[in-house]
Structure 1
């Protein structure tokens, strides 16, 4: 039986998730996180997409990606395959690194887009890996708080939805407790 085709069109935006096989860790050392990002950058050069946010957790990844003309499946196939080859060679393993097919939720509204970027950036906090999401090294969140451009991340679209100073209101949005998020309407650009 064939798999259901993903919805794909130029400009489609997805919340991509990929988890280690049997929930195993896919990043064992600092070098593994660095390699994943280096492979991402290399694949990005030949298959342009827009990366709005990411978080690399020990056993899974979150990516908020907007496509150009390339189907997301081609980008993800190359990214995941190259990383799996690297990981298996480095640790002398065989078989699947990632559990099944990656997840790709189509983002269909500004509200959902903002919820996903917040969710991605809060992931290390919710997993009790850090007390402050800005201190997590393997997330795009620090790029949102800095005026220094990150080579992979495009913060412009996300920040455009927030009032000035945009990075501060975005920070407030991300770091508010879940029960306070309903109050963020005041932070958004009118």
Structure 2
């Protein structure tokens, strides 16, 4: 099996990424970014925990952990072929839904995403830590912005808010 086509196994962390077919844009306006995140939640929240993300005009990065319950995967078992694990199938449904909406909006047809989507197993803490930085720094790395901390389509600010809230709750009397 090709390294980028590994099955998404429960309890494991993965760097999931993809780009627009032929390097084309995936996002054309702010509503597209918001819609992508809503669709991601709708199709995948039963299957994954999302740790960090960054959405760029022509590609995206996700750091996920596949949820560990067998029950979450049984509902899709009847639709599976030998080609897809249940989480990959949920991703494909998500990509199809998003692609149909963008194709309609942009009056285009055909594949929006490269196929197959890429995934790399995150098997140690050092790589996990690096990925959190790399995913958030991506807009700056690609010259989209001067300071990745100001980029609106990543989880950077959401993570900081969560940490700040947790710290303030610890200091309450």
- Whether the TM-score (by the shorter chain) exceeds 0.5 is yes
Structure 1: tracts of 5 or more residues without a match: 150-155, 157-163, 166-190
Deviation, 1:134, is 1.8
Of the three residues 113, 116, 128, the one matched with 1:101 is 116
Change over 3 Å in CA distance of 1:14–1:125 after alignment to 2: same
Q: Report the TM-score when normalising by structure 1.
A: 0.71
Compared with structure 1, are the counterparts of its residues 107 and 147 closer, same or farther at alpha carbon in structure 2 (3 Å cutoff)? closer
Equivalent residue for 1:51? 50
TM-score, structure 2 normalization: 0.78
Distance 1:18 1:57 in 2: 10
Could you say which residue in structure 2 is the equivalent of 1:13? 13
Structure 2 gap ranges (5+): 74-85, 169-173
- 1:39 and 2:54 matched: no
For the residue of structure 1 that corresponds to 2:123, the secondary structure is coil
Q: Which residue of 1 aligns with 2:140?
A: 125
Cross-structure match for 1:84:
99
Higher relative contact order (CA 8 A, sep 6+): 2
Task: Check whether the contact 2:7–2:88 (CA below 8 A) recurs between aligned residues.
Answer: no
Q: Which residue of 1 aligns with 2:63?
A: 64
Q: RMSD across aligned C-alpha pairs, in angstroms?
A: 2.4
